[in-house]
């Protein structure tokens, strides 16, 4: 029986993941229609080593570059997007790339929305452009690569934002008791979603799974016998992540009290977490829910689902001191990524420096 359950869980999760991949692939095709025709070669070459979501983000970033050329470079002022040829890439000088970096700091999108980019936004867009150029240079479509002659934006270290231990307790306590301060429709909505929201927050804080992994969970992915959930990681690989009794209690309470009495819309029958419209919850919905509760408890910290993941990773590292375990549980392919985020000197150790050096005996 257990083997059948695991097989069913794997199939259901796989179906959701496959549909997500299909949707993203179709979306990418639509974006590619707004790029120069030769760009398709680059994105076709990217496919084996990247996710559809990554390719979509790169497509948007590279489209910004060509819009910049159309708007700001006199050579291309009478061009349309379809007129660009791969040879146009080598007509670009390093100074044009530098002007593009300046442009990225503040620019208007096609819909006139003002876009700003900080260090990380600049780095991502320049990384996309470098990768784009590298493909055509490597395959000898172009003889020069001006992006290599321009320094990449420097990234300054940012403090890792996460919840302290007492703030974790405060957040969960607030979700449990928020109804005491609500009335009318707000109270009715809270009562309808309380158990679900508490289960999601407890799960994110107690396992460190990604919000994308959370929305993909099915009922059959939860194994209370072994206290584990089957998650689909980036790239489609599956892994069992184990959870403690607090997570088990929150999940069981939600499933038994709420989820079992909901009749999902067609196509959403297997989803673990449902919206009030009886559909599988999306990433944006969970992000909004986390922000809604967190700003009541920690208004000075911008808490997102990823910050809850950081909170779990930090706590796990402090408790175990095993950076390889943290990397494995979080699904990091490169342990250096984990080291960078969780093995740095933390605030508690830094405070020790205040009393370590004596100025007078």
Contacts 24+ apart (CB under 8 A), 66-74: 66/35, 66/36, 67/110, 68/100, 68/103, 68/107, 69/96, 72/99, 72/103
Q: Which regions of 233-345 does DSSP assign to beta strands (E)?
A: 238-242
Using DSSP's 3-state secondary structure scheme, residue 114 falls into strand
What pLDDT is attached to residue 350? 56
pTM over 0.85: no
Strands, sheet with 238-242, edge to edge from the N-terminal-most edge strand: 222-223, 228-232, 238-242
The DSSP line for 198-250 is HHHHHHHHHH---HHHHHT-BGGGEETTTTEEEEE-GGG-EEEEE--HHHHHH
What pLDDT is attached to residue 50? 86
What pLDDT is attached to residue 8? 47
Residues 6+ apart with CB under 8 A from 89: 133, 136, 141, 142
Beta-strand relationship, 114-116 and 222-223: unpaired
pLDDT tens for each residue of the chain, 361 residues long: 334 344 444 445 557 888 888 899 999 999 999 999 999 999 999 998 888 889 999 999 999 999 999 999 999 989 999 999 999 999 999 999 999 999 999 998 878 889 999 888 999 999 999 999 999 999 999 999 999 999 988 877 777 789 999 999 999 999 999 988 889 999 999 999 999 999 999 999 999 999 999 999 999 999 999 999 999 888 778 899 999 999 999 999 999 999 999 999 999 999 999 999 999 999 999 999 999 999 999 999 999 999 999 999 989 988 888 888 988 898 888 888 787 777 654 555 655 566 666 566 5
CA nearest to 339, candidates 352, 351, 322, 356: 322
For 353, other C-beta atoms within 10 Å of its C-beta total 9
List, in order of start, the domains of the chain with CATH numbers.
34-149 (1.10.150.130), 165-350 (1.10.443.10)
Q: Are 115 and 106 in contact (CB under 8 A)?
A: yes
Beta-strand relationship, 238-242 and 222-223: unpaired
What pLDDT is attached to residue 3? 41
What pLDDT is attached to residue 344? 58
What pLDDT is attached to residue 235? 72
């Amino acid at each position: 029986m257990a083997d059948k359950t695991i097989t069913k869980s794997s199939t259901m999760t796989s179906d959701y993941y496959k549909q997500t991949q299909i949707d993203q692939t179709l979306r990418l095709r639509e974006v590619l229609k707004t790029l120069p025709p030769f760009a398709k070669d680059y994105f076709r070459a990217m496919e084996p080593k990247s996710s559809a979501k990554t390719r979509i983000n790169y497509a948007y970033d590279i489209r910004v570059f060509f819009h910049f050329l159309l708007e700001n470079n006199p050579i291309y002022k009478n061009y349309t997007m379809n007129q660009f040829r791969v040879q146009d890439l080598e007509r670009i000088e390093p100074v044009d790339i530098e002007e593009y970096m300046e442009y990225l700091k503040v620019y208007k999108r096609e819909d006139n929305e003002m876009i700003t980019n900080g260090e990380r936004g600049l780095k991502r867009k320049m990384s996309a452009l470098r990768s784009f150029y590298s493909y055509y240079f490597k395959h000898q479509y172009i003889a020069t690569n001006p992006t290599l002659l321009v320094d990449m934006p420097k990234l300054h270290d940012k403090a890792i934002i996460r919840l302290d231990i007492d703030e974790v307790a405060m957040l969960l306590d607030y979700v449990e008791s928020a109804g005491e301060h609500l009335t009318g429709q707000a109270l009715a909505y809270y009562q309808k979603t309380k158990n679900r929201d508490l289960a999601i927050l407890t799960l994110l804080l107690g396992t460190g799974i990604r919000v994308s992994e959370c929305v993909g969970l099915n009922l059959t992915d939860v194994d209370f016998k072994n206290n584990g959930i089957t998650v689909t990681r980036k790239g489609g690989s599956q892994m069992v992540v184990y959870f403690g009794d607090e997570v088990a209690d929150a999940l069981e309470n939600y499933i038994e009290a709420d989820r079992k009495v909901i009749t999902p819309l067609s196509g959403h029958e297997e989803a673990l977490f449902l919206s009030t419209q009886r559909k599988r919850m999306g990433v944006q919905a969970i992000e909004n829910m986390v922000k809604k509760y967190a700003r009541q408890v920690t208004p000075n910290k911008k808490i997102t689902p990823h910050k809850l993941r950081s909170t779990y990773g930090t706590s796990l590292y402090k408790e175990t001191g095993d950076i390889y375990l943290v990397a494995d549980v979080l699904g990091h392919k490169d342990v250096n990524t984990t080291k960078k985020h969780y093995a740095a000197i933390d605030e508690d150790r830094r405070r020790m420096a205040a009393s370590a050096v004596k100025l007078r005996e």
